[in-house]
Chain A
């Protein structure tokens, strides 16, 4: 190098320096590349952290949701099971058959269709053949529709029976031939593995109790309660009379008259009940109406049971059920309700105005000789006349009781066998009477509570249970 010329030396030095600089620049370039890569990775990780934090923030709500859903899982599995459980399904059909009274004649499983739609459920189809009355059939399908497992009735057909004279009947109803296509389902969804363990599960479940219940209601499938026969006629039976069959009972016209008679009677009783409830009806009238209503109901109830068997014409049965039997039952319930309400009244006694009315009516009726009416009037309210002596109505109650005593005594006296055959009137002494073949003088006792008080030409005065009564000849 010592022999190098200056030029050579300069070139070597500058070249060496340039080389080092280039190497350093290359190194820096390389390092920058790595830094950028690292920064990119850091950025990615930060994004991943942000995403993770978003997910973590969702955990409380997710836990809540899973708890709610998990708590209702039993309900889902009941409605839409994972497995086919077809033995249980067939057993269910047998149980419903027994409950409804239908007679199953065949159960055929349809070939499962290849499910290309990737549905989350697979349908299993059955065809069920049976004989049943309309009401049995309806009960059967209603039981199926209300079953906990989801079952759908897709197709059905009823071929009406009752075309001939001697058709099969059950409980008096015509038997039809029924074919039914049933569809049930299993869940196809893949289970998401085992259940995740949620910390503090019990406490969270307790807190979410209401929400769990609400969500359970949301998944309930629609159901319907079949109303039953209710006196309706079978719509698959020709309701017209058969001319080729002799019937012992009344004709349709007579049956219509019978129904009309009962409908009128029920209306009368209903009107009595309405009048009884009117605010302007006096309590005395209320009692009289209630008594009449009870008697009417009792009489009608007995007759209804007898006459019901005479109704053979199907179209009238519904009217009978709706306009006679049901209203009678309602009336009976309402009358019982009235009786239940009665003890709650604050004043157990008859109001003063009613008592005054009672006394006046009894007085009038006794004066007119309507002794039975007076007696019944008192007895219909007797349980509300026991007012204490301190009550201002006491005197009225006593007066009413006195009139009742008079009426009862007079009725008993009237009913006594007293055949007056002759009288002997002695102006200066004791007169006598020939009665039932025996003679009695004034002051003689005929029996323990019957005394001959006074004998006159036209009439004999008796004292009966402390009351003076006259028997005319």
Chain B
């Protein structure tokens, strides 16, 4: 028997969208929409917000930059000036005032005019500076008379002189008796004298007060 389906094509059973397909299509559409929506939120929401935050901080930073440039310029000036001060202090530490030393040495030799304790004089003086060792003073000296205690007195007075605190070492009292018939009295004790001063470099290694630093550093 021949059957003739008189239903319109779209209502015919064989041509209808099957429910499974329909459900799948519906589900897929929801899933795809959700995915696209999520992307949209992330792209236009979070990313946009991050971009605007960045623009905001960039603007703030740009504003601060002007003051930072001023700060850096000030800092450069300060470093320049402080460097010079530090340099002055560094080289000042390496200097010894020889006029002061000589004045003190003359006082020791003159001994307030007391010629009974000792009467001394020198044939010359040589001062050699060595940054590592410190300055060395070499002075061939003489003490009038043959009385050895006068030589000891002179060395004692040297040890009590103000500059003695800066000495690293001093030569010991030794002598050679000399006779000069032209002089009155003719006898004198000639002695070598070497004074070794402490090195200013070694002194600098000790902790010293730093030059005044600016506050808030």
Chain A positions near chain B (C-beta within 8 angstroms): 2, 6, 9-10, 13-14, 16-18, 20-21, 23-25, 27-28, 31-32, 34-35, 38-39, 41-42, 45-46, 48-49, 52-53, 55-59, 61-66, 69-70, 72-73, 76, 79-80, 120-121, 134, 138, 141-142, 145, 150, 152-160, 181, 185, 187, 189-193, 195-196, 198, 215, 218-219, 221-224, 226-227, 232-233, 235-244, 315-320, 322-323
Contacts and interface: CB of A to CB of B under 8 A. Distances in A.
Contacts of A189: 80, 83-84, 87
Nearest to B15: A2
Given A14-B24, A232-B106, A66 B42 contact: no
A42 B53 contact: yes
B65 interface: yes
Contacts of A138: 99, 102-103
B202 interface: no
Contact of A13 (B25, B74, B106, B188): B25
Contacts of A45: 54, 57-58, 60-61
A192 B76 contact: yes
A189 to B, nearest CB: 5
Interface residues of B, number: 98
Given A27-B39, A45-B54, A62-B75, A52 B65 contact: yes
Given A38-B47, A235-B105, A141 B125 contact: no
B112 A318 contact: yes
Contact of A241 (B18, B115, B184): B184
Contacts of B21: 6, 9-10, 13
B99 A61 contact: no
Contacts of B50: 34-35, 38-39, 42
Contacts of B12: none
Contacts of A243: 181-184
B48 to A, nearest CB: 10
Given A24-B39, A42-B50, A155 B121 contact: no
Contacts, number: 295
Given A240-B184, A315-B115, A69 B42 contact: no
Nearest to B129: A154
B3 interface: no
Task: Please report whether the interface of chain A is mostly helix, strand, loop or mixed according to DSSP.
Answer: helix
Contact of B38 (A9, A24, A59): A24
A158 B29 CA distance: 110
Given A120-B83, A240-B185, A25 B91 contact: no
Contacts of B174: none
A138 B102 CA distance: 8
A27 B212 contact: no
A291 B149 CA distance: 47
Nearest to A191: B80
Contacts of A150: 88, 91-92, 95
Nearest to A161: B124
B77 A66 contact: yes
Given A16-B32, A42-B53, A240-B183, A233 B110 contact: yes
A368 to B, nearest CB: 47
Given A17-B29, A160-B124, A236-B122, A142 B99 contact: yes
Contacts of B217: 58, 61
A80 B47 contact: no
B67 interface: yes
A237 B122 CA distance: 7
A218 B214 contact: no
Contacts of A134: 106
Nearest to B211: A218
B215 interface: yes
A191 B188 CA distance: 60
B194 interface: no
B113 A322 contact: yes
Contacts of A190: 80
Task: Please report whether the interface of chain B is mostly helix, strand, loop or mixed according to DSSP.
Answer: helix
5 contacts: A20-B36, A21-B35, A69-B85, A120-B86, A241-B183
Best-buried of B51, B84, B142 by chain A (most CB within 10 Å): B84
A34 B39 CA distance: 13
B216 interface: yes
B176 interface: no
B216 A70 contact: no
A348 B87 CA distance: 64
Contacts of B72: 55
Given A20-B36, A70-B77, A235-B120, A55 B71 contact: yes
Contacts of B68: 52, 55-56
A196 to B, nearest CB: 4
Contacts of A24: 32, 35-36, 38-39
Nearest to B30: A17
A153 B97 CA distance: 8
Contact of A76 (B60, B65, B85, B121): B85
Given A66-B77, A237-B121, A120 B25 contact: no
Interface string B136-180: 000000101000000000000000000000000000000000001
B61 A61 contact: no
Contacts of A69: 77-78, 81-82, 85
B23 to A, nearest CB: 9
Nearest to B109: A235
A235 B121 contact: yes
B5 interface: no
Given A56-B64, A62-B78, A192-B76, 13 more contacts: A6-B20, A46-B57, A55-B68, A59-B70, A59-B74, A64-B215, A65-B215, A76-B88, A189-B84, A193-B76, A221-B92, A243-B183, A316-B115
Nearest to A60: B216
Given A76-B85, A160-B123, A243-B182, A224 B79 contact: no
Contacts of B73: 193, 196
B128 to A, nearest CB: 5
